[in-house]
């Protein structure tokens, strides 16, 4: 088992949670310590894809750690240097926009700010219905920033949702490995 400490932050994009949980299981099989983090929306919103209680229970069951789901619980990530890498999966268009604008008003954006203050890698596994529309400039902003690494992504339904982008969550473990070495996995854009 690898010793690097992984933070795993889950945002909305509820339709991708099943895929994200499978990727989390893969990470837990590789890394000794994986700390679950949930946005307020993920932690407290029931949807047609499942209840928030079920999600939190699954996160805790998979990782063996209590889910951090408020700003005070994630703020120590920076000063105490609690993580070696932080993953945001799924990273919604809203979270990506806030990161691009430097807004820190959610559990996940605070976790990112706290982690980035130490110069650690931040892995983005996006799921955004407007990635090729209003959200495109925010993705572009993060693509050129130091310490940001993207799980390869592409259109998930080009005909039905032509502006939608989603990460290939199967590539999340390889992306984390590359990010820990300071490299962006390639190709970043999927066909």
Q: What is the pLDDT along the chain (191 residues), one digit of tens a residue?
A: 999 999 999 998 888 999 999 999 999 999 999 999 999 999 898 889 888 899 999 999 999 999 999 999 999 999 999 999 999 999 999 999 999 999 999 999 999 999 999 999 999 999 999 999 999 999 999 999 999 999 999 998 889 999 999 999 999 999 999 999 999 999 999 97
Could you tell me where the DSSP H helices lie in the chain? 17-30, 40-44, 52-63, 71-74, 93-101, 107-116, 136-143, 172-180
Instruction: Give the containing element (helix H, strand E) for 64.
Output: none
Residues paired with 166 in a beta bridge: 127, 154
DSSP 84: S
| b/e 25-49 (16+ beta carbons within 10 angstroms → b) | eebbeebebbbbbbbbbbbeeeeee
Tokens of 117: 């203050």
Residue holding tokens 């993060």?
A: 142
SS3 35: strand
Nearest to 177 by CA among 26, 58, 38: 26
- Residue 46: the pLDDT is 84
- Residue 163: the pLDDT is 92
């Amino acid at each position: 088992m690898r010793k690097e400490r992984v933070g795993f932050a889950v945002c909305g994009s509820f339709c991708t949670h099943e895929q994200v949980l499978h990727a989390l299981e893969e990470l837990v099989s590789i890394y000794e310590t994986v700390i679950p983090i949930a946005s307020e929306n993920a932690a407290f919103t029931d949807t047609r894809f499942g209840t928030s209680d079920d999600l939190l229970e699954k996160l805790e069951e998979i990782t063996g750690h209590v889910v951090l789901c408020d700003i005070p619980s994630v703020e120590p990530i920076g000063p105490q240097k609690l993580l070696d890498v932080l993953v945001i999966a799924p990273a919604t268009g809203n979270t990506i926009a806030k990161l691009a604008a430097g807004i820190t008003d959610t559990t996940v954006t605070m976790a990112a700010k706290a982690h980035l203050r130490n110069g650690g890698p931040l892995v983005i596994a996006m799921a955004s219905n407007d990635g090729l529309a209003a959200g495109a400039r925010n993705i572009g902003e993060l693509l050129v920033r130091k310490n940001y690494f993207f799980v390869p992504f592409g259109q998930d339904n080009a005909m039905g949702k032509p502006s939608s982008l989603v990460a290939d969550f199967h590539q999340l473990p390889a992306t984390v490995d590359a990010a820990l070495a300071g490299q962006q996995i390639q190709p970043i854009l999927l066909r």
